[in-house]
Amino acid sequence: MPFDPLVTAVVETTLNTLLRDDPELMRRLARLRGKVIQVHLKEWQKSLTFVFSQQVDVLAHYEGEPDCYLALSLSVLPQLRDQANITQLIKQDKLELTGDIQLAQSFSRLLHDAKPDLEEWLSRVTGDALAHTLVGSAKQFARHIRQRQQQHQSHLAQVLVEEWRIAPGPLEVAHFCDEVDALQSQTAHLQARLDRWLDTP
């Protein structure tokens, strides 16, 4: 199967599934009906065209003129989920935008709000009780991993500062800053004396 149809099929199916699960998103989709947004991914030199109707059609090849054209890198794509970032990304030359900026903002808002409800999806397959248990366990496991990671980072910081003496401790940094300030003050005083001495006839 060619790469382009595979990518467009996955994006289209995922996006439409998320939209159908939320009546509010379907209402917003109806307001975009007839609009076309093209997103060009610079690394791949590929474009995905989103055509809005009763659903979202995602095309790899589109001959017409889109209402809004966006060119960006893959690394910028997650930032597009927050519409507040669009103007900032344009100013930083990370995003090229041609056409209707409000359409880009509506698209960004739609992407941001189209979040999967894993528990709801699982409940269709496993039932409510098991889905709730699985999602709860996964969240608890994720919390445990984050706590362990924070503990390891804290332990590593202590080892670097106290045992291996690779990084200075907070008091050493403060003492060093005080010494730098004192040296700066002495240098300024010496410079002033030197200037006075040179100005003396």
Average pLDDT over the chain reads: 79
pLDDT digits (tens, 9 = 90+) for 156-198: 767 666 666 565 667 777 777 888 888 888 888 777 777 777 7
CATH of domain 3-113: 3.30.1050.10
Give the closest residue to 103 by CA, choosing from 197, 29, 41, 185.
29
- Residues of the chain above pLDDT 90, percent: 20
Structure confidence at residue 49 as a pLDDT band (50, 70, 90): very high
List CB contacts of 61: < 8 A, sequence separation 6 or more: 4, 49
pLDDT digits (tens, 9 = 90+) for 120-165: 555 555 666 665 576 566 667 667 677 877 777 777 767 666 666 5
* All structural domains of the chain with their residue ranges: 3-113, 118-167, 168-201
Question: What pLDDT is recorded for position 55?
Answer: 94
Question: What pLDDT is recorded for position 128?
Answer: 66
* Cα(32)–Cα(56) distance, integer angstroms: 10
